């Protein structure tokens, strides 16, 4: 049994109105997405290019798709025409590909810088020092077809709530530092995307503006 509309309502009642919900629909069928859509949800997160391409043509056009999984540079051009935001920008090379493909179609693509905050090898993202290096590189300001809207991160998968809190606090601290040092003039650098089904409460307490929630809305995933 699942009741996606009720799950969404219940989630909304537990977070401030200002926090955006990204409904993570990876592995879930389009009828589940449509159910969420019909209850008002418009922003959905997916982590595989082929999967978004397949699903989006079967669903309403006013859905905002967020890419939240590792993106290979050679697949960038397939999603740029319709993607609302790439949350998982984890290298300077990827940033330049997104810029280049966006430029070709005269689009400015919203991006979040994914930062590695966990202590798991499996998670991706910029190490903080790599990030500063990327932003300070002389070419960075020439990337006119990307819009950096903030940061994204994933905490370690653990029951240790204090550890998770510390990682989220680090990410929020990094966001503030970047905002002060490099983006104080930007109208767009406002988002801290952190928190998933298991840790969104802590993330919101630590300043999250966007939570990426899958299983709590759509039910547990079989795999992935």
Residues that bind ligand PLP (CB under 6 A): 24, 26, 47, 68-69, 154, 196-198, 212-216
CB of 107 to ligand PLP, least distance (A): 23
Which one, 135 or 213, has the nearer CB to ligand PLP? 213
3-state secondary structure of 134: helix
For the chain, the residue count is 224
Which one, 136 or 160, has the nearer CB to ligand PLP? 160
Which one, 47 or 99, has the nearer CB to ligand PLP? 47
Q: 176 and 134 in contact (C-beta within 8 Å)?
A: no
Q: 210 and 22 in contact (C-beta within 8 Å)?
A: yes
Reduced 3-state DSSP string for 163-181: HHHHHHHHHHHHHHHHHHH
CB of 64 to ligand PLP, least distance (A): 16
CB of 212 to ligand PLP, least distance (A): 4
Which one, 83 or 216, has the nearer CB to ligand PLP? 216
Which one, 97 or 208, has the nearer CB to ligand PLP? 208
**Cα dihedral 46→24→42→38 (10° resolution):** 120
What is d(CA 130, CA 91) in angstroms, rounded to the nearest whole number? 9
CB of 23 to ligand PLP, least distance (A): 9
CB of 141 to ligand PLP, least distance (A): 28
* DSSP string across 188-216: S--EEE---TTTHHHHHHTT-SEEEESHH
CB of 180 to ligand PLP, least distance (A): 26
Which one, 86 or 143, has the nearer CB to ligand PLP? 86
Structure tokens at 119: 């202590």
What is d(CA 65, CA 52) in angstroms, rounded to the nearest whole number? 8
Other residues' Cβ atoms within 10 Å of the Cβ of residue 219: 15
């Amino acid at each position: 049994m699942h009741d996606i509309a009720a799950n969404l309502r219940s989630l909304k009642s537990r977070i401030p109105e200002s926090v955006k919900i990204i409904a993570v629909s990876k592995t879930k069928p389009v009828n589940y997405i449509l159910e969420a859509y019909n209850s008002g949800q418009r922003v959905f997160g997916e982590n595989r290019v082929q999967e978004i391409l397949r699903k989006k043509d079967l669903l309403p056009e006013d859905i905002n798709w967020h890419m939240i999984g590792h993106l290979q540079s050679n697949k960038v051009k397939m999603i740029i025409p319709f993607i609302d935001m790439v949350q998982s920008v984890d290298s300077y090379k990827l940033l330049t590909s997104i810029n280049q493909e966006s430029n070709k179609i005269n689009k400015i693509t919203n991006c979040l810088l994914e930062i590695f905050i966990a202590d798991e090898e499996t998670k991706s993202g910029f190490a903080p020092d790599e990030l500063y290096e990327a932003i300070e590189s002389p070419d960075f300001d020439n990337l006119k077809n990307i819009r950096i809207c903030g940061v994204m991160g994933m905490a370690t998968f653990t029951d240790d709530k204090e550890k998770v809190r510390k990682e989220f606090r680090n990410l929020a601290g990094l966001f503030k530092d970047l905002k002060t040092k490099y983006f104080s003039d930007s109208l767009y650098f406002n988002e801290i995307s952190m928190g998933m089904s298991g840790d969104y409460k802590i993330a919101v307490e630590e300043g999250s503006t966007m939570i990426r929630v899958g299983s709590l809305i759509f039910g547990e995933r079989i795999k992935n």
